[in-house]
């Protein structure tokens, strides 16, 4: 889709001294992450700007970025019409829960200005929203938040906090076993 970012339809300004009111259409956020079993995602599209009148029509459609339409999400496309009373509308995208262990699946939803009537219409900051589907069939893996830790040597005991993160899945509870190994520091003497 070739994105149209700004449209002015009709005689809005009659001379150079009149101000053209602008309505900006944008997604509320630039990205969402959802679990595969969420069911659906309602994505907010908002009208912003000083324009107190006029109507703006935008089209929307989903596009794959690794995720497969009708396997990971239901493809949607359509139009939204914002009158002067409309500040926010929603596009609902169905997320498909399958039993396959998938890598993270990504797709996006994009907007395009179709028509501005009585107002200058433009796309706002977020004309494309990225959606990441997190697999709920894989328990994932545990990894260290940082590979290397530095603790300043003192005469007092100091507790080093080691962050462990769960990545790549979310199914069920997972546990880990851990131990320390001597390097230049010796257990019992230095730690």
Threshold 0.95, pTM exceeds:
no
Domain boundaries, the chain: 6-134, 138-191
Q: For residue 124, what pLDDT is reported?
A: 95
- Of how many residues is the chain composed? 191
Per-residue confidence (pLDDT) for residue 13, from 0 to 100: 43
CATH class of this structure's domain 6-134 = mainly beta
Q: What confidence score (pLDDT) does residue 4 get?
A: 52
Q: Among 41, 124, 53, 110, which residue's Cα sits nearest to residue 82? A: 53
> DSSP secondary structure string, 25-54?
EEES-SEEEEEGGG-EEEEEEEEESS--S-
Residue stretches of the chain with pLDDT short of 70: 1-20
């Amino acid at each position: 889709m070739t994105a149209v970012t700004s449209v002015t339809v009709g005689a809005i300004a009659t001379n150079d001294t009149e101000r053209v009111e602008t309505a900006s259409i944008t997604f509320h956020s630039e990205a969402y992450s959802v679990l595969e079993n969420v069911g659906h995602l309602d994505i907010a599209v908002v009208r912003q700007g000083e324009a107190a009148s006029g109507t703006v029509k935008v089209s929307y459609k989903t596009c794959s970025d690794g995720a497969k339409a009708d396997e990971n999400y239901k493809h949607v496309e359509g139009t939204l019409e914002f009158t002067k009373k409309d500040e926010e509308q929603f596009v609902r995208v169905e997320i498909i829960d399958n039993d396959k262990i998938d890598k993270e699946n990504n797709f996006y939803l994009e907007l395009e200005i179709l028509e501005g009537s009585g107002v200058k219409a433009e796309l706002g900051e977020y004309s494309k929203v990225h959606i990441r589907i997190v697999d709920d069939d894989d328990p994932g893996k545990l990894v260290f938040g940082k590979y290397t830790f530095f603790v300043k040597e003192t005469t007092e005991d100091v507790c080093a906090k080691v962050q462990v993160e769960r990545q790549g899945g979310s199914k069920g509870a997972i546990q880990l076993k851990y131990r320390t190994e001597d390097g230049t520091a010796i257990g019992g003497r230095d730690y």
